[in-house]
């Protein structure tokens, strides 16, 4: 008989995932993962409330519950990755790393890889085609979370269960109410949990400090103002620059000189990229490109959104990849992940780290540089 572990968070999604497993005759072992860095001074995440709630749920259904402490692993693999990425001028995605390294990684190691399945409350589905598992989008396109799962490995996907991926959010809330779950009216979680109520900029200030640098208009080279460190700003950012006469958008960052370059206008072309160079790729179920070809049609996302962009994935002679987007994409930043899907916006192939976002008129130059 197969065994199932369910990662219970204290939110409505994972609690309904528990109910659906029970309806399928599966009685999972429940686990609540403590993450964060309390010894680093970052208490404030509403973990105490979550722990009370998961205990109530476990008692309600007479299921075993274990609280496990993975805060050190979270700090090393997720928070460490976040700080190093920001320090290098990149735009990180800690949620993706949390899923890969903690929820489906460190947790599995903690349990000795004894469970056949690890279930979560993610909005995603899994499909098996010709004996191979694929990550598939959820029924609810607004709540779909496959982009947050696009860095997991194939063995992790093979173990994963996503019991709520076939539900629209409204139905999920209704199920929670029908079963009188204590989580039925809880708000969806937001932000990076280990920070709790601490402001993200305050966190960066404590670890990276401040260093005054110029804000420069990209087109003219004119110095418009000052900032307190490039790490407080992201590509495509509009708010928080303190400049008049805008809107102004962050277009580029120079890490060495600590310079922020901006461009003005509600729809300035400098905001957009339609050629995306990718670094390390993670194809969950293997390289989807047909054998003997070096390009294929895909759909893609560069941030969490229900909208897909159509494009062309190319593999170059040196094994690197790039994507040509049919429509320009605003705010493409190095360090983000480009998540790739099939043309039906259904199967998620995986994701690659964005090395650079460019205008298409740079395409020929980039391709010529490739051996």
- Give residue limits of the domains in the chain: 4-195, 210-266, 271-369
Q: What is the pLDDT of residue 33?
A: 95
Taking the C-alpha atoms of residue 158 and residue 156, their distance in angstroms, rounded to an integer, is 5
Q: 66 and 90 in contact (C-beta within 8 Å)?
A: no
Helices (H), the chain: 12-23, 47-61, 71-74, 80-87, 94-98, 107-110, 154-159, 169-178, 200-208, 363-369
Q: What is the pLDDT of residue 268?
A: 77
Q: What is the pLDDT of residue 16?
A: 97
Taking the C-alpha atoms of residue 138 and residue 122, their distance in angstroms, rounded to an integer, is 9
In this structure, are strands 65-69 and 4-7 parallel, antiparallel, or unpaired?
unpaired
Q: What is the pLDDT of residue 336?
A: 96
Q: Which residues of the chain have pLDDT under 50?
A: 37-44, 363-371
Whole-model pTM?
Answer: 0.91
CATH number of 210-266: 2.30.30.280
* Number of neighbouring beta carbons within 10 Å of residue 157: 21
CATH class of the domain comprising 271-369: mainly beta
Q: What is the pLDDT of residue 360?
A: 80
The topology under which CATH files domain 4-195 is Rossmann fold (3.40.50)
CA 205 vs. chain centroid, Å, equals 23
Catalytic residue positions?
Answer: 98, 193
Q: 262 and 249 in contact (C-beta within 8 Å)?
A: yes
* Number of neighbouring beta carbons within 10 Å of residue 319: 8
């Amino acid at each position: 008989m197969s065994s199932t572990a369910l990662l219970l968070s204290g939110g409505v999604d994972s609690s309904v995932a528990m109910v659906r497993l029970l309806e399928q005759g599966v009685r999972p072992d429940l686990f609540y993962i403590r993450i964060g860095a309390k010894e680093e001074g970052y208490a404030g995440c509403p973990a105490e409330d979550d722990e009370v709630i998961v205990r109530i749920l476990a008692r309600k259904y007479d299921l075993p519950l274990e609280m496990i402490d993975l805060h050190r692993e979270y700090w090393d693999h997720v928070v460490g990755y976040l700080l190093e990425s920001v320090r290098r001028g990149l735009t990180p995605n800690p949620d993706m790393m949390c899923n890969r390294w903690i929820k489906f990684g460190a947790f599995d190691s903690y349990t000795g890889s004894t469970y056949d399945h690890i279930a979560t409350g993610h909005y995603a589905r899994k499909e098996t085609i010709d004996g191979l598992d694929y990550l598939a989008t959820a029924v609810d396109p607004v709540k779909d979370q496959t982009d947050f799962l696009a860095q997991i490995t194939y063995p992790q996907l093979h173990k994963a269960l996503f019991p709520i991926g076939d539900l629209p959010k409204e139905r999920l809330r209704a199920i929670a109410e029908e079963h009188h779950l204590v989580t039925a009216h809880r708000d969806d979680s937001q932000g990076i949990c280990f920070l709790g109520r601490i402001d993200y900029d305050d966190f960066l200030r404590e670890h990276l400090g401040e260093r005054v640098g110029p804000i420069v208009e990209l087109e003219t080279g004119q110095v418009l103002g000052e900032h307190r460190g490039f790490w407080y700003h992201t590509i495509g950012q509009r708010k928080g620059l303190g400049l008049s006469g805008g809107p102004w958008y962050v277009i580029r960052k120079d890490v060495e000189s600590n310079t922020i370059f901006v461009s003005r206008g509600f729809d300035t072309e400098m905001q957009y990229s339609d050629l995306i160079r990718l670094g390390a790729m993670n194809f969950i179920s293997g390289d989807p490109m047909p054998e003997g070809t070096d390009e294929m049609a895909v759909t893609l996302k560069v941030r969490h959104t229900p909208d897909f962009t159509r494009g062309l994935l190319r593999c170059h002679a040196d094994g690197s990849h790039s994507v040509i987007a049919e429509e320009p994409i605003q705010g493409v930043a190095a360090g983000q992940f480009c998540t790739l899907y099939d043309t039906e916006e259904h199967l998620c192939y995986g994701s690659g780290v964005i090395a650079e976002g460019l205008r298409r008129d740079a395409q020929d130059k980039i391709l010529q540089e490739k051996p």
